[in-house]
Amino acid sequence: MTEAEFDRVMAVNVKSIYHSIPVIVPAFKSRGGGSIINIASIGAMRPRPGLVWYNASKAAVANVGISLSLFLIATLNRVPEEPTLKLEKRFASSTLKKPCG
């Protein structure tokens, strides 16, 4: 992967979330809440060969989702109906039992 390709993967998968948060959080505050859906990948939990930086970017997306959930709970005094941590645990336990490939 070239540096330009790396930059593109990180810009699309990670930096896009970074740029959206300053816009989204004030809107959530004014509306009393909202939802963010970030699309990660199984590559975040079960990396596949040859996709090192894609897998890393998706792991960042998954981690950002968890971190943002905790931040938004504190900021908006709102607990999501299905906290990200619970979803991650359920997703990981069901997918890690299945063979890859």
Question: Would you name the residues annotated as active-site residues?
Answer: 54
H or E stretch at 54 = helix 52-76
Q: How far apart are CA 98 and CA 69, in angstroms?
A: 28
User: Reduced to 3 states, what is the DSSP secondary structure of residue 34?
Assistant: coil
Q: How far apart are CA 48 and CA 42, in angstroms?
A: 9
